[in-house]
């Protein structure tokens, strides 16, 4: 069973996973987004991009800039982002509302192009993520130490996405993406979001 360090009790009396603490943005994200099954290539592309931007940073940094990212990247419409050129890269590098990392910006543009190539081949990111990212049945994690930083499924999906031309998608980033997209449900035992 989760300990007091593994769960936090919010002002509303609900038990939540340790990582959201009492920050209102994190609590809302935990309650409404994290672990909720997500489908659709545009939504998954956005989340994969944001997880890539998060690498080396805290998620709260990205979460607080999420709306800025959405504006800067035209709602993460892959058709639009794939057509970005050097002027767009320059514009994004000057945008203080996002994380200004050239490699991550270029990776996001490249990933939009890779996504369109998938579509040209009759495949979808949604199908790949939900087929390869699913984990065999397992017990719900009871404590922080039961949540792995990555899994064999995340490693396999990372390798497949790299093979397909995606970047900034190492196995740790992919596992965080799978958790956030609800492909994997890592809400701890005792968290109000945990299903029986």
Instruction: Answer whether 50's CB lies under 8 Å from 104's CB.
Output: no
Strands 7-9 and 15-17: antiparallel
Residue 59: active-site member: yes
Residue 51: active-site member: yes
Residue 29: active-site member: yes
Strands (E), the chain: 7-9, 15-17
Residues in the chain: 196
Measured CA to CA, the distance from residue 124 to residue 168 in angstroms comes to 19
Residue of 26, 34, 46, 59 marked catalytic: 59
Dihedral (Cα; 128, 131, 136, 142), 10-degree rounding:
60
In this structure, what are the phi and psi dihedrals at residue 47, rounded to the nearest 5 degrees?
-65, -40
Residue of 26, 46, 51, 130 marked catalytic: 51
DSSP state of 39: -
DSSP state of 184: S
* Active site positions, annotated: 29, 51, 59
């Amino acid at each position: 069973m989760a300990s007091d360090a593994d769960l936090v009790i919010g002002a509303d009396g609900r038990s939540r996973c340790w990582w959201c603490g009492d920050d209102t943005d994190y609590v809302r994200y935990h309650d409404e987004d994290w672990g909720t099954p997500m489908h659709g290539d545009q939504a998954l592309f956005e989340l994969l991009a944001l997880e890539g931007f998060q690498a080396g940073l805290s998620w709260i940094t990205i979460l607080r800039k999420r709306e800025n990212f959405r504006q800067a990247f035209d709602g993460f419409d892959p058709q639009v982002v794939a057509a970005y050129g050097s002027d767009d890269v320059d514009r994004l590098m000057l945008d203080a509302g996002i994380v200004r990392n050239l490699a991550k910006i270029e990776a996001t543009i490249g990933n939009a192009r890779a996504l369109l190539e998938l579509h040209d081949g009759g495949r979808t990111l949604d199908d790949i993520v939900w087929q390869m990212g699913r984990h065999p049945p397992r017990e719900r994690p009871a404590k922080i130490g039961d949540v792995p930083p990555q899994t064999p499924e995340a490693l396999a999906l990372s390798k497949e996405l790299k093979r397909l031309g995606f970047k900034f998608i190492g196995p740790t980033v992919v596992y965080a993406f799978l958790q956030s997209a609800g492909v994997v449900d890592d809400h701890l035992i005792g968290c109000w979001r945990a299903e029986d």
